[in-house]
Chain A
Amino acid sequence: MRVVPAGDLALSVEFTEEISVETNTRVRALEYLLQQKGVPGIVETVPGYRALLVYYDPSVIGYEPLSETLLGLAAQTDATVLPPPRHVAIPCCYEDPELGFDLAGAAERLGLPPAEVVRAHTAFEHLVYFIGFVPGLPYMDSPERLTIKRLDTPRTKTPPGSVSIGGAQCCIYPVDSPGGFWVLGRTPLKLYDPAAAEPVLLRAGDRVRFRAIDRTEFDRIAAAVEARTYRAAIS
């Protein structure tokens, strides 16, 4: 564990250099402790896989005292610090090759029948490590059986809502973006909706489970989302 400067308005608290649930849990626990304690001078925090970026106001707190405080709190971080996570059910249409256009290819690469890929994907409870890169994009873990090398040639456009896997990760594209992940299906939910009171659907620490839906239900939910009558199942 160490603290390094990230300019004069931020510093980074770095835990073990690895992508793991344990390390990321400590990052989120540190962020939670800071929210609970309300350390004066901290402006905002950005969790990553293994580091917490802490923005601060140097006219309120200096680098050295803040580093000391953070290292002290970081030593107390473990899973027991965190409140119970939110559970979010995300409907996903895998069956329509127009939406899950890489499902067949991914299944072939993994040596599994497509139905088995869907079963493994829907049976797994995904952890949202953090939200980043673009508004609302969740970086999540993925079942070991679905670990897959990224696309050799990244595509220039991936439609919003695409549920995809790459490496040992799963993500959902909130906006049209380039991407090197295999798209297994699509959710009719909006991960980012600039017109909503809360534009971003998911939070770091959420547990996400995908629910397989057919094309008819996809279209129905998509219409309800457009009409703002759909409520995501969050408990």
Chain B
Amino acid sequence: MIRILEPGPLTTVQDRGRFGQLRYGIPPSGPMDRRAFVIANRLVGNDGTAAGLECTYMGPRFEVERACAIAVTGAPAPVTVNRHPVPAWTTIELAAGDQVRIGAPKTGVFSYVAFSGGLDVPLVIGSRSTYIRGRLGGVEGRAVRADDVLRLLPAPAPPRRRVVDPRWIPDFGGDQEIRAVLGPQADRFTDEGIAALLGSPYEMLPQSDRMGARLRGPRIAHARGHDIISDGIPLGGIQVPGDGQPIVLLVDRQSTGGYTKVATVCSIDIARLAQVKPGQRVTFRAIDVAEAHRLVREDAASLAGAVKETA
């Protein structure tokens, strides 16, 4: 069991997500930085279905009521156990009564805390992920609060110390190049509009959230109107309303919409985009579907070996 002492500004329970529900208007939710989340779970020996905490800008302070292992990944937040600094991206063994504080990261937005066994909140339509707008999943469909008590499921095996290959620890600072596949409605934009998207930096805006990343930069001009007949919005869809400013739709997105989508961010770059802080800049580069799929395969192959046991 863990007891939340201070929740942080927006800390939610997430697992890998809620699938098959977009046709009912329910988004998948799940972690904004899937890679960091998957690695955190592997560090504590969990399989792919375990639920952990997603922290936004600053993490929580909590106490564990029995011995367990945790791991903190994602945005590089300082972590302390009973006020002593401990490293992120590795297994941390805790004793009953230990107090953990996850601070504010210098770069990036989302940090993840995985617990051995995983958080035991009810499965709602097959998932423990929190979807706040829909009041679904997690802790009563909301962010965690002070005094919340979260149970842990039994750990699959006694904790072992694991570490992450350092090249899997990303640098979230600086300009980020994000790859995207043009379409589904690239033909609704002028050549100049597409050239603006691919040739200029866009600044992340503070209004960004789990629904979408709002960016500001040179106008992405439409050739014939910004409205389309409403259709499904893919993960990473770059929607451009009449003002010509892009919004990248993310894990809590609306399932359908009536604005043109100039391009769609590649799945392996969603995490890096999600970690871009307001004020930081991104540039977009177009690749084709075949190349995107090659990158997905490479990514999966190397991620498989990212976490190693130590002696």
Please give the distance in Å from A174's CB to the nearest CB on chain B.
8
User: Contact flags (1/0) for A16-42 with B, using CB distance below 8 Å?
Assistant: 011100000000000100000000000
Is B293 a contact partner of A200 (Cβ separation < 8 A)? no
User: Contact flags (1/0) for B18-57 with A, using CB distance below 8 Å?
Assistant: 0111111110000000000000000000000000000000
User: Contact flags (1/0) for B258-291 with A, using CB distance below 8 Å?
Assistant: 0001001111000000000000000000000110
Interface residues of A in 51-85 (CB under 8 A from B): 51-53, 55, 58-59, 62-63
Is B229 a contact partner of A59 (Cβ separation < 8 A)? no
A108 contacts B by Cβ under 8 Å = no
B206 contacts A by Cβ under 8 Å = no
Is A49 a contact partner of B230 (Cβ separation < 8 A)? yes
CB contact between B23 and one of A9, A46, A58, A139 (< 8 Å): that residue: A46
User: Contact flags (1/0) for A180-215 with B, using CB distance below 8 Å?
Assistant: 000000000000101000011001100000000000
Which residues of B have CB within 8 Å of A166?
none
A130 and B134 alpha carbons, distance in the complex (Å): 18
Is A12 a contact partner of B24 (Cβ separation < 8 A)? no
A6 and B22 alpha carbons, distance in the complex (Å): 15
Which residues of B have CB within 8 Å of A49?
229-231
In the complex, the chain A residue whose C-beta lies closest to that of B254 is: A133
CB contact between A12 and one of B20, B232, B255, B293 (< 8 Å): that residue: B232
Is A47 a contact partner of B23 (Cβ separation < 8 A)? yes
A136 contacts B by Cβ under 8 Å = yes
Is A8 a contact partner of B25 (Cβ separation < 8 A)? no
Which residues of A have CB within 8 Å of B26?
135, 199-200
Most buried by B among A12, A43, A50: A12
A6 and B236 alpha carbons, distance in the complex (Å): 9
A5 and B19 alpha carbons, distance in the complex (Å): 20
A134 contacts B by Cβ under 8 Å = yes
B125 contacts A by Cβ under 8 Å = yes
Is A5 a contact partner of B264 (Cβ separation < 8 A)? yes
In the complex, the chain B residue whose C-beta lies closest to that of A23 is: B229
Is B184 a contact partner of A8 (Cβ separation < 8 A)? no
In the complex, the chain A residue whose C-beta lies closest to that of B179 is: A8
Chain B, interface residues (CB within 8 Å), range: 35 or more
- Contact (A139, B25) CB under 8 Å given A6-B184, A59-B296, A133-B254: no
A111 contacts B by Cβ under 8 Å = no
Is B181 a contact partner of A132 (Cβ separation < 8 A)? no
Which residues of A have CB within 8 Å of B235?
7, 9-10
User: Contact flags (1/0) for A80-121 with B, using CB distance below 8 Å?
Assistant: 000000000000000000000000000000000000000000
CB contact between B134 and one of A7, A46, A192 (< 8 Å): that residue: A192
Is A135 a contact partner of B24 (Cβ separation < 8 A)? yes
A19 and B183 alpha carbons, distance in the complex (Å): 21
Interface residues of B in 97-141 (CB under 8 A from A): 124-125, 133-136, 141
Is B229 a contact partner of A46 (Cβ separation < 8 A)? no
- Contact (A131, B24) CB under 8 Å given A17-B229, A53-B234: yes
Please give the distance in Å from A198's CB to the nearest CB on chain B.
9
In the complex, the chain B residue whose C-beta lies closest to that of A134 is: B25
A59 and B295 alpha carbons, distance in the complex (Å): 11
A147 contacts B by Cβ under 8 Å = no
Is A4 a contact partner of B229 (Cβ separation < 8 A)? no
Which residues of A have CB within 8 Å of B78?
none
A45 contacts B by Cβ under 8 Å = yes
Which residues of A have CB within 8 Å of B255?
46, 131-133
Please give the distance in Å from A235's CB to the nearest CB on chain B.
20
In the complex, the chain B residue whose C-beta lies closest to that of A51 is: B231
Is A194 a contact partner of B134 (Cβ separation < 8 A)? yes
Please give the distance in Å from A41's CB to the nearest CB on chain B.
12
Is B256 a contact partner of A132 (Cβ separation < 8 A)? yes
Is B24 a contact partner of A4 (Cβ separation < 8 A)? no
A140 contacts B by Cβ under 8 Å = no
Most buried by A among B24, B141, B229: B24
Q: Sort A-B residue pairs by CB-CB distance and give the 9 closest, nearest first.
A: A53-B232, A7-B264, A132-B256, A46-B232, A48-B231, A8-B292, A6-B234, A10-B234, A200-B24
